[in-house]
Amino acid sequence: MPYPNSWYVVSTSEELRRGQVRRLRYLGRELVAFRGEDGAAHVLDAYCPHLGAHLGVGGKVQGDTLVCPFHHWRFAGDGRCVEAPYARTTPNCSAGAWATLERNGLVWIWYHALGAPPDQEVPTMPEHGHPEWTGYTEYSWTVKSHSQEMGENSADSAHFKYVHGTLEIPEVSVQVTPEGVFRSVNRSKNKRFGQVRETAVEISIFSPGFTTVRMTELAEILLVTSNTPIDEESVENRFFFTARKRGNPLLRWLISRTFMREVALGFEQDVPIWENKIHRPRPVLCDGDGPIWEFRKWFQRFYSAQPIGTAGKSLEVGSSRTSGAS
């Protein structure tokens, strides 16, 4: 499958400190992130257009620019070369900048298979940084799968019983909001702390790279998830949990940590299935499978080639150019 067009998380804000350079690999490419003295985060293609040195290996921040370790050419956040210290004339070249956004404590880059500018929004989560909510608790995995396969689980109602052990097959209702968000509500019965409780989980998939999950049973928890392709065979998944600060602090911590670990374990139960399954463009479905076709129809909008799951074969996108990259 090709990479879907989306904003993708490449770092947390804390991982990219002022004056820091980070070597990254996502979307099948070597990248470099840096934060200038003005505090702005930038992501460039990794290799210097001069003689190919990796800007993330020995590169340094000078002011609001990134200095190549090889010949000390300097590149601005938009990728432009602004100085070659021994040249009479500054070369007219670019390191290739990626459209970069910092929001919700995360650094995002925009990918489009045909190089189009961003046509999606990354909504602001009011819970992040709010004094009534905790800081992020993070889990992360690298999975040999694809974001479409993984996101499809939100619509696959039957697997919740047979993989995750819910007491019954959940009732899953879905809608696509006017803003284009695929929203599902999962209602089921689960055993919590020795009692059977009815639970409701709201899942909002904003794009292939960004999903939120809201849980309000016993504790109010928001899960922000990122799903960033490393290459054509693997994806980096990061879970960022935050919980509302209310009630007894010790009880809140115990309940929220129990929920967080339960969600993380549920994800890990899916991993061996994802890593060993194939994609069926035309699967044989039954009337109890849930709104899988609705999810696939919605997901098609993120591809620049023939939609996945509607024809006899999946077509690869021929270009991997990105907005702002040269």
Mean pLDDT of the chain: 90
DSSP type of residue 62: E
Task: Name the phi and psi angles at 130, rounded to 5.
Answer: -75, 140
Q: How far apart are CA 239 and CA 263, in angstroms?
A: 10
pLDDT tens digits along 230-264: 999 999 999 999 999 988 888 888 888 888 999 99
- And the tokens for 84? 């070659």
So what's the pLDDT on residue 192? 65
Q: Where in the chain is the domain with CATH 2.102.10.10?
A: 6-111
Kindly indicate whether the domain formed by 137-274 is annotated with CATH number 3.40.50.2000.
no
Task: Name the phi and psi angles at 206, rounded to 5.
Answer: -80, -35
- Mean pLDDT, to the nearest integer, of 40-66? 98
- And the tokens for 147? 């974001």
- 3-class SS at 88? coil
- Mean pLDDT, to the nearest integer, of 153-177? 91
Residue 3 has pLDDT above 90, yes or no: yes
Q: How far apart are CA 247 and CA 233, in angstroms?
A: 44
| Residue for token pair 């709010």 | 130
So what's the pLDDT on residue 305? 64
Q: Among the residues of 154-248, which ranges form H helices? A: 159-162
CATH superfamily for domain 6-111: Rieske [2Fe-2S] iron-sulphur domain (2.102.10.10)
Nearest CA-CA partner of 37 in 23, 18, 10: 18
So what's the pLDDT on residue 59? 98
pLDDT tens digits along 258-284: 889 999 999 999 999 999 999 999 999
So what's the pLDDT on residue 310? 33
What are the residues whose beta carbons fall under 8 Å from the beta carbon of 88, sequence distance 6 or more? none
Confidence of residue 1 (pLDDT cuts 50, 70, 90): confident
Residue 323 has pLDDT above 90, yes or no: no
So what's the pLDDT on residue 307? 43
Sign of CA dihedral 52, 82, 74, 45: negative
Checking DSSP bridges between strand 81-83 and strand 106-111, what pairing results, if any?
Answer: unpaired
Q: Where in the chain is the domain with CATH 3.90.380.10?
A: 137-274
Confidence of residue 318 (pLDDT cuts 50, 70, 90): very low
% of the chain residues with pLDDT over 70: 92
pLDDT tens digits along 87-143: 999 999 999 999 999 999 999 999 999 999 999 999 999 999 999 999 999 999 999
Q: How far apart are CA 279 and CA 134, in angstroms?
A: 38
- Mean pLDDT, to the nearest integer, of 27-51? 98
